[in-house]
Amino acid sequence: MSLHEAMLYKKLEDKKVNCYLCARRCHINDGGSGFCLVRKNNDGTLFSLNYAKAISAGVDPVEKKPLAHFNPGALVMSIATVGCNFRCQFCDNWMISQEKGTAGNPLPPEEVVKAARDNDCQGISYTYTEPTIFFEYAYDTSKLAREVGFFNTFVTNGYMTPEAAKTIAPYLDAATVDFKGGGDPEFYKTFSAVPSVAPIFEALKELRRNNIHIEITNLIVPKSGDSLDRIKELAIWIRDGIGKDTPFHLLRFHPDYQLTSIPATPIETLEKAYMTAKEAGLNYVYIGNVPGHASENTYCPNCNEMLIKRYSFAITRWNLTKDMRCPVCGQCIPIKGTLHPSGHSLPYALF
Ligand code: SF4
């Protein structure tokens, strides 16, 4: 077992510790582990068991995160370890997120950065499982990555403490924050074993205060997580709390893991959700996991000109001026970074 002392915890009496990395804020007795099973109290010191143990590494277009308004076309080195602080019954990465051990290939931060360089990436993405629970690994890698000019992005369930958000913020450029079921607290309790959704909104505000580029997804699960009222409520919160230009991705559910009896989200449901979010005042709403759908594209919120045409993770037409404006009406389109016409759109795995 490799031991790396954890960040963001307090030592308590009787060799107990209090972890404040994620919103579960576990109190852990000597010899015990946190809910995520990858942080262990050993003689009153908390250790991260998954440090530099990558269970997955691969190259992805940034559009796969999804990030639609951040360095379009860029390639990212995506890494993950085992473990998660959620127990989503529909997780499409359950084989690694719900893994009980601490399996993984040794891949220290400097090797991640080297792999990013060797594979012509422009950034590094901490993804597939929850980066909050491999925080120390992501933190050290992010620092190194920044030093050599790479950007860093988190794909997260948002269930981190404000302390964690503040700590990673100096090195984090973008975050995709994934909601499920429109943020319905009952949905989270039933399907993800999450007691409260409030910390996700707190973390979002903290990321916003720190000027991190934010995109938000919402997985629409038929029947139990497809309420248009919830989607409207979430869209209004995003509009007022983060900004009406925040990209909002409505994702199609596919049956997986323990929820194989629920069918994929009907396209009609996704389209109704799209209209609901637009009517709530969000300027950039997307439908995800439906390759070829017209709502994969970016449209000008002022004149409706198509500005970026996409097919799945690929950009197939770029119709913005050099200074990121609509060529028809001159509307400024909020896109952070620059276009990276890499020519790659297919993800590939290193292991
Ligand atoms: S990261 Fe979260 S789940 Fe894991 S020990 Fe810390 S508070 Fe508990």
Q: Is the CB of 203 under 6 A from ligand 1?
A: no
**Which structure tokens are listed for 292?**
């070829």
Q: Is the CB of 25 under 6 A from ligand 1?
A: yes
247-265 residue pLDDT tens: 999 999 999 899 999 999 9
Backbone angles phi, psi at 160, to 5 degrees: -105, 160
104-115 burial: b if 16+ Cβ within 10 Å, else e: beebbbeebbeb
Q: Is the CB of 85 under 6 A from ligand 1?
A: yes
Q: How confident is the model at residue 341 (pLDDT cuts 50, 70, 90)?
A: confident
**Residues facing residue 153 across a β-bridge:** 125, 174
Q: Is 82 helix (H, G, I), strand (E, B) or coil?
A: coil
Kindly tell me if the per-residue pLDDT of 1 is higher than 70: no
Q: Which atom in ligand 1 lies closest to the alpha carbon of residue 132?
A: 1
CA distance 339 to 331: 18
pTM above 0.85, yes or no: yes
Residue 186 CA from chain centroid, whole number: 22
SS3 content of the chain, % helix, strand, coil (to 5): 30, 25, 45
Place of tokens 């999804």: 66
Mean pLDDT in residue range 55-71: 97
Q: Work out the angle between the directed axes of helices 267-279 and 228-241 (0-180°, nearest 10).
A: 40
Number of helices (H), then strands (E), in the chain: 8, 20
Q: Is the CB of 24 under 6 A from ligand 1?
A: yes
Distance 24 CA to ligand 1 centre (A): 6
Distance 85 CA to ligand 1 centre (A): 7
CA distance 53 to 43: 23
Q: Is the CB of 22 under 6 A from ligand 1?
A: yes
Residue 63 CA from chain centroid, whole number: 12
Kindly tell me if the per-residue pLDDT of 25 is higher than 90: yes
Instruction: Give me the pLDDT at residue 101, please.
Output: 73
Please say whether the beta carbons of 280 and 232 come within 8 A.
yes
Q: Is the CB of 194 under 6 A from ligand 1?
A: no
Mean pLDDT in residue range 34-57: 96
Distance 32 CA to ligand 1 centre (A): 12
Instruction: Give me the pLDDT at residue 2, please.
Output: 60
Please provide the average confidence, as pLDDT, over all residues in the chain. Answer: 95
Instruction: Give me the pLDDT at residue 345, please.
Output: 63
CA distance 138 to 107: 12
In angstroms, how far is the first alpha carbon of the chain from the final one?
21
Q: Which atom in ligand 1 lies closest to the alpha carbon of residue 37?
A: 4
CA distance 297 to 284: 10
Kindly tell me if the per-residue pLDDT of 344 is higher than 80: no
Distance 16 CA to ligand 1 centre (A): 14
**Residues facing residue 58 across a β-bridge:** 78, 349
Place of tokens 């915890």: 9
- The pick from 8, 16, 25, 26 for probing ligand 1's pocket by mutation, whose C-beta has the most ligand atoms within 8 angstroms, reads 26
Please say whether the beta carbons of 16 and 25 come within 8 A.
no
Provide the 8-state DSSP code for 275.
H
Burial (CB count <10 Å: 0-12, 13-18, 19+), residue 343: exposed
- The pick from 18, 22, 42, 192 for probing ligand 1's pocket by mutation, whose C-beta has the most ligand atoms within 8 angstroms, reads 22
Q: How confident is the model at residue 3 (pLDDT cuts 50, 70, 90)?
A: confident
Place of tokens 């994969």: 296
Q: How many C-beta neighbours within 10 Å does residue 317 have?
A: 11
- The pick from 133, 137, 161 for probing ligand 1's pocket by mutation, whose C-beta has the most ligand atoms within 8 angstroms, reads 133
Distance 269 CA to ligand 1 centre (A): 35
CA distance 250 to 120: 30
Q: How confident is the model at residue 143 (pLDDT cuts 50, 70, 90)?
A: very high
**Phi-psi category of residue 204: left, alpha or beta, with phi > 0 → left and psi -120 to 50 → alpha:** alpha
Query: Closest Cα to residue 266, out of 306, 226, 302?
Result: 226
| Angle ∠(282,91,179) on CA atoms, nearest 5 | 20
Q: Is the CB of 35 under 6 A from ligand 1?
A: yes
Q: Is the CB of 7 under 6 A from ligand 1?
A: no
Q: Is 243 helix (H, G, I), strand (E, B) or coil?
A: coil
